[in-house]
Chains A and B, each alone.
Chain A
Amino acid sequence: MKFLLEHLRTFTDLPERPHDARELLDDVGIEVKTAEATQFGTVFNCELLANRGDHYCYEGVAREAAGRTGHPMRYPPVKALQADRTSDRVRIETPLCLVYTLTELFAPEDRQDCLSSTVLAPLTAADIHSINAPVDASNLTNFDIGQPTHAFDADKVDGAITVRLSRKGEKAWLLFTPGPIEIPEGMLVIADESKILGIAGVIGCADSGITDSTTRILLEAACFDPVAVRIASRALNQATDAAARFMRGGDPTLPLVGAGRVAKLLEDHCGYRVGNAYVAGDWKDPQRTIEVDVERTKLFIGASLSHLEMADRLTRYGFTVEPEVNTLTVTVPPRRLWDVHFEADLQEELLKSVGYNNTVIELPPVEMGALPSHRENVMKQTSELLVAEGFYEIFTDSFYSPKMRERLGVGEGDPLWAHVDVLNSQEGDYAMMRNNTVAQALDALATNVNNKLANVKMYEWARIYMPDLSEREILWALANGRDRGPFWGDKGRPADSIYLKGILEQLRLELRIDLGFGSTDGHRLERFFHPGRRLGIHLDGKLVGIFGELHPTLVQNFGIKRQRPVYFEIETEALLAPAIPRVYSEPPSRQPIVRNVAYATPRGITSEDVRNALLEAAPPFLREIRVTDLFELPDARAITFEIEYLSEEALTGETINAATEAMIASVTKKFGEKVTQRV
């Protein structure tokens, strides 16, 4: 909301320099977002506290400043209205209207341009254009003292005015709209004998509004239930200044004052004659009182105020205080009934009065610090491993669009078809919550490949959202291009599935969890992978993840050409498994003895198959069998194994050779001629 500094000064004394005035307002919670020099002087654009309806006017802002400075408040002149509380000109049929007033105003013959540009300056500063004298006076009053008013053309009003709930099928033609619309049943409205005149606290209707030719005005000033106003404002999509004021809680004692201010402006400047004023509503001030413990409050706010000083400061904000040495009994003014309920609310007022930056600052006593949890440690260790391998952590959207699901090739009946739908997303991309992260990973890869960056390594600690509204936490990583570099003398090797497997093996070692690799059967992402280049990640017999090369068709669906990305996903919970205890084994005193054996193997027989066959005939002194080389042609491949023996006893060449022969024989027995030994 925009405030003209010079007009604000008419309500209370403020620092001379605009910069100092701005600091003061900031300090009391009226945050000045920008300050602008205009022809009328400095204009502050302020962000107001969302719960303080009384701040939405000059008087409210000035009161906050005066609460801090102690300077007196000044109020604009108001015409005292004689209220008729017995007339049947106005009726209230619902407790959602606290007070309702109507004031008769009669226009003079000549009423053009009666409010000067100086009087209108607060409106001009707020970019509100002049309409006509009654509307301008109404707007000025709302700006000055925070009481919205509305002018009806009395000649368009049919009989008595009633504040009631709308009826089924009832229509109203709201101001600034093309025609009548049906009003939802049960909405708080102002009506005459034949039609709706306005939506209470929100907006008036076109067929009862004033024009330049209006001579008799019925000026409405009222106080409505905040929730009723908010519901109507939202339902009709009408965010008006009046609604903004009322939905934060109005002042039930203010309507007649507001009407009096409008009357005063029109009478003094424009020659209007003020007629009768009618009041309806039996709202009674509840006189809410709150006890404030003086010593506790002193300690809490960190300022040495006496009970009398506290009382004085609270009085500046309009509270009535009965001060005792130990306790203040504070009565809440009507305009603050909406937000002041507890001792803490009054402590906040005292803090604002003293200044948030003028009270004690201290650190509470701290006995002992805390350590990172197992989960935090595991995530950090894992991230460090991936980062050392050149991976970048990213954050991707938790959402995706139906188009993304289409790209994944997920159709009805697929386990990944069902999603959590976002019911009110403003953007199509946020229509659904993701139930996997493959789409995000490929989308990210496409972005980078399009930017001519094909060597990509990225990971994310992510959540996925299940149709039953549960959440699962996973770690995913994607690699594409080369496993390292590229460097000027070292092109590396492809970042392929074997590379990812190596990372997972390192992770197993780092976290000391018994991750194993095996079938992908039953994994929900299985079909996204190349059938010949994927493995499941297992822990304690459970399938906890999957890795491998993404299916070429899927990659193409994301517009990515000539790339072979690999991807893994593992449940975060699996990584949190208890670490296997470390067991130390003494390094051997003897050196190991090594033999190499190579096999030509057909497609389908894995290195692990051959290794297992070798192990079946392994002697007790076998230490390890390692793959040391792989030679592949399109239709054949050869694997070299290094067999390492070690014993505390001295081993002869004959013993070693006999053991090796026995293991070779085991392979021959198992696979026959399918697997042949290479020299």
Chain B
Amino acid sequence: MSTQDTLNAFHSELAAATTPEQLQELRTKYLGKKSYVKTALKSLGSMPAEERPVFAKEVNDAQQLIERELEQATERVASGAIAKQIESEWQDLTLPGIAQERGSIHPLTRVHESAMNVMRRLGFRLEEGPEIELPYYNFDALNIPENHPARDMQDTFWLPNNHLLRSHTTTVQARVLEKHPPLPIKVVAAGRVYRNEAVDATHLALFHQFEGIWVEEGLTFGHLKGTLLEIAKSIYGEHHAFRFKPKYYPYTEPSAGMDMQCTVCLGKDDDCPGCRGAGWITILGSGMIHPKVFIEFGYDHTRVSGIAFGIGTSRIASQAAGISALKPLYEQDLRVHRAIHRGGL
């Protein structure tokens, strides 16, 4: 068989090959040990010297041609196979996706974490305290003596042995001040508080607070306002308007409430259902720590001063979730939590 005959036969068989396996067979047949080109190259030594270069070139060219065409055919067959596979593998991607659906942390936890992120930037750390408390930490140490009208502000659940359920997380602050840690003291207290009230959509026996104190020499009322604005803007956004107003809390003097401009009417509708025409919604209570509280825990109130504030996380969480009452936050109906988590998606 001549080289040309071999090439003719190769081309004929190559044209018929459509699978990788058939191409491999051709490779073995035309380039393998027993193939024409290998046999011909082995026979070169026995050829006359003058014929050898011409024949060698002819066989080498044929070998390179076969290799090249086999490569091209392999690529062609492979891409054809993938195209065929793709054509046969259509999937209906309008079907719903399948993946473990995430649950969610509670909206209150979400608000707590947002607020904590801000507080940490300012150097605050979280402090825990008991919910079952002594009246001393809940009232007396905080300038709320027995038979003071301020005790009416916080109807209390009483427990045996003259204990109570804390009515505010300020108890934790009292316990921190009592320990006299080095200044500055920057502490957040957060968690459950209890009020012995008739329960309805907006009043619960249990809700959550988030409070902070900052005790240091030289803190001023301007620092209180600056700190609160930083916190409020971080939680609610820079674009809101805020204001301060006098309030009364037994453990702060001066005391201040902080309002955010009503997001429904922007203070322009005297009949607004969101703010009842006030134009503002109270978001937190605050003040400078009362001299009597400092005196109670042995601090020199003429030397140190302190910022204190409390945020009703339950209210913020319900606002953020777009629900008008606090109660749904404390429901165990997962349809509610799923709706809050998905928020319309």
A residues within 8 Å of B by Cβ? 19, 22-23, 26-29, 31-35, 49-52, 226-227, 230-231, 247-248, 299-302, 341-345, 347-348, 351-352, 356-357, 359-364, 366-373, 375-376, 380, 383, 386-399, 420-427, 430, 433, 440, 443-444, 447-448, 451, 453, 456-458, 463, 465, 469-471, 484-485, 487-490
Contacts and interface: CB of A to CB of B under 8 A. Distances in A.
A433 B125 CA distance: 29
Interface in B129-167: 130-132, 147, 149-150, 152-153, 156-161, 163, 165
A655 B310 CA distance: 71
A29 B335 contact: no
Contacts, number: 254
B332 interface: yes
6 contacts: A34-B277, A348-B253, A362-B222, A368-B123, A397-B330, A422-B165
Contacts of A390: 100-103
A351 B224 CA distance: 13
Nearest to B227: A363
Interface in B189-246: 192, 194, 196-199, 205-206, 208, 214, 216, 219-223, 225-227, 229-230, 243-246
Nearest to B158: A423
Contacts of A342: 253, 291-292, 301
Interface in B151-189: 152-153, 156-161, 163, 165, 186
A44 B68 CA distance: 97
A644 to B, nearest CB: 28
A392 B334 contact: yes
Contacts of B101: 390
A476 B265 CA distance: 43
Nearest to A53: B149
Interface stretch (B11-19, B53-61, B104-112): B104-112
Contacts of B223: 362-364
Given A49-B246, A423-B159, A389 B120 contact: no
B334 A458 contact: yes
Nearest to B289: A344
Contact of A447 (B157, B198, B333): B333
A362 B126 CA distance: 24
Contact of A387 (B103, B227, B290, B291): B103
A29 B247 contact: yes
Contacts of B244: 356-357
A230 B333 CA distance: 43
Contacts of B254: 344, 347-348, 351
Query: Taking each of B101, B208, B245, B331, which has the highest tally of chain A beta carbons within 10 Å of its own beta carbon?
Result: B245
B280 A362 contact: no
B285 interface: no
Contact of A351 (B102, B124, B227, B246): B246
A389 B220 contact: no
B332 A443 contact: yes
A448 B221 contact: no
A58 B334 CA distance: 51
A450 to B, nearest CB: 9
Contacts of B106: 392-395
A398 B250 CA distance: 27
A343 B123 CA distance: 29
B109 A51 contact: no
A52 B119 CA distance: 33
A50 B186 contact: no
Contacts of B158: 422-424
Contacts of A31: 245, 257
A238 to B, nearest CB: 14
B96 interface: yes
Contacts of B205: 397, 399, 427, 430
B338 A392 contact: yes
Nearest to B145: A227
Given A395-B108, A463-B131, A488-B96, A352 B221 contact: no
Contacts of B290: 344
B147 A426 contact: no
Given A390-B103, A422-B158, A302 B153 contact: no
Contacts of B108: 395
Contacts of B100: 388-390, 484
B237 to A, nearest CB: 18
Q: Which range contains the number of B residues in contact with the other chain? A: 35 or more
B262 interface: no
B103 A391 contact: yes
Contacts of B331: 447
B123 A453 contact: no
B32 to A, nearest CB: 32
A348 B287 CA distance: 10
B132 A465 contact: yes
A433 B104 CA distance: 27
B93 to A, nearest CB: 13
B276 interface: yes
Contacts of B256: 356
Contacts of B103: 386-393, 457-458
Contact of B278 (A32, A363, A370, A471): A32
Given A389-B100, A420-B132, A34 B335 contact: no
Nearest to A485: B98
Interface in B74-113: 95-96, 98, 100-106, 108-109, 113
A345 B248 CA distance: 11
Q: Which 8 A-B pairs have the closest CB atoms?
A: A29-B246, A444-B332, A348-B254, A302-B222, A49-B248, A360-B222, A363-B226, A356-B244
Contacts of B156: 424
B196 A425 contact: yes
Query: Taking each of B223, B291, B334, which has the highest tally of chain A beta carbons within 10 Å of its own beta carbon?
Result: B334
Given A33-B276, A359-B222, A471-B132, 7 more contacts: A52-B248, A300-B305, A364-B214, A369-B121, A399-B206, A469-B132, A470-B132
B160 A393 contact: no
Contacts of B246: 28-29, 49, 348, 351-352, 356
Nearest to A427: B199
Contacts of B38: none
A396 B257 CA distance: 30
Query: Taking each of A52, A373, A430, A470, which has the highest tally of chain B beta carbons within 10 Å of its own beta carbon?
Result: A430
B52 interface: no
Nearest to B120: A370
A298 to B, nearest CB: 10
B290 to A, nearest CB: 7
A51 B250 contact: yes
B330 A395 contact: yes
Given A395-B329, A458-B334, A422 B123 contact: no
B311 interface: no
Contact of A227 (B147, B220, B288): B147
Nearest to B207: A395
Contacts of B315: none
Contacts of A453: 334-335
A356 B102 contact: no
Contacts of B130: 471
Contact of A448 (B98, B116, B214, B332): B332
A62 to B, nearest CB: 16
B207 to A, nearest CB: 9
A551 B330 CA distance: 26
Interface string B327-345: 0011111110110010000
A387 B105 contact: yes
A421 B159 contact: yes
Contacts of A371: 120
A369 B221 contact: no
A426 B198 contact: yes
Contact of A344 (B149, B186, B288): B288
Contacts of B250: 51
B147 to A, nearest CB: 4
Given A231-B147, A426-B198, A453-B335, A361 B291 contact: no
A359 B222 CA distance: 7
B270 interface: yes
